[in-house]
Amino acid sequence: MTARTEAAARLTGRVVTGERPLSGALAQVTLDDGRVVVVKRADDPGATRAEAAGLRWLAGAGAVRVPGVHGHDGSWLVIDRVPQGRASREAAIRFGRDLAALHAAGAPAFGAPPPDGPADAYIGLAPMRNEPGADWPRWYAGHRVLPYLRRAVDQGTVRPGEATVVERLCERLPGLAGPAEPPARLHGDLWNGNVLWGSDGQVWLIDPAAHGGHRETDLAMLRLFGCPHLEAVLEGYQEQAPLAAGWADRTGVHQLFPLLVHAVLFGRGYAEQALSVARSALSG
């Protein structure tokens, strides 16, 4: 029995009959009742706790589909496997409506973590601090943009002289943010790789960095890295919960956070993209 299969047996209470490794930290495990689960390993206990809490919080909205959580401990998370199918326009429209309903379920504050979720969480492989705030522009600048900008500067990925354009954007955020909105319940890491098109014809979401935030942030991330049938997703969203005027022009402002995260994790190319987005938002 491997460490992955031992964790699956312990956290599901079932006998394991098969294992298919997907990567060093990920495997599909078959249980004796025929179900297939995904077993994930994390080095930081906070990562498994944050992901489990995020999945449960998203599920609690009764809007989007997420894998069920079987259990987690300091090193392992066991969730349902999602059998995958093909993307379709019909599923995309439904997903847009469901995403709008998820956002409308709300959060106690901007930056609020899921119930039972740690304040020190993750977005992908990067640490992400969930510190609640009442004012979105101030919170977004102070707890999403500037921490990663400083880290990118410290790493040498962003040069000190270049950082001023992002700092100026943060200063001007109150005038660039659009109409004030209540905190939305965000997936928080909604790039295409975390959007699964299920064999049941539905869209499923995995790997959240869930927190309270601005709903336009999830939509901006879908556009940043591409998503099949994105215009249909937006069509369904707008039917359910129309976005405030000028939302498309604010996309770059909301993309700045994930771009700086990627700059910290993956280097200069994303830093240049972040700087370009900041310049464009300031000149728009």
- Residues carrying an active site annotation: 189
Q: How many CB atoms lie within 10 A of CB 265?
A: 16
Residues 6+ apart with CB under 8 A from 97: 236, 237, 239, 240
**Helix, strand and coil percent figures for the chain, each rounded to 5:** 50, 20, 35
Residues 6+ apart with CB under 8 A from 276: none
Q: Is residue 46 classed as helix, strand or coil in its secondary structure?
A: helix
Please state the φ and ψ torsions of residue 56, each to the nearest 5 degrees.
-70, -35
Residues 6+ apart with CB under 8 A from 156: none
User: Are residues 88 and 236 in contact, defined by beta-carbon separation less than 8 angstroms?
Assistant: no
Please state the φ and ψ torsions of residue 197, each to the nearest 5 degrees.
-95, 105
Burial label for 122, CB within 10 Å (0-12, 13-18, 19+), is: buried
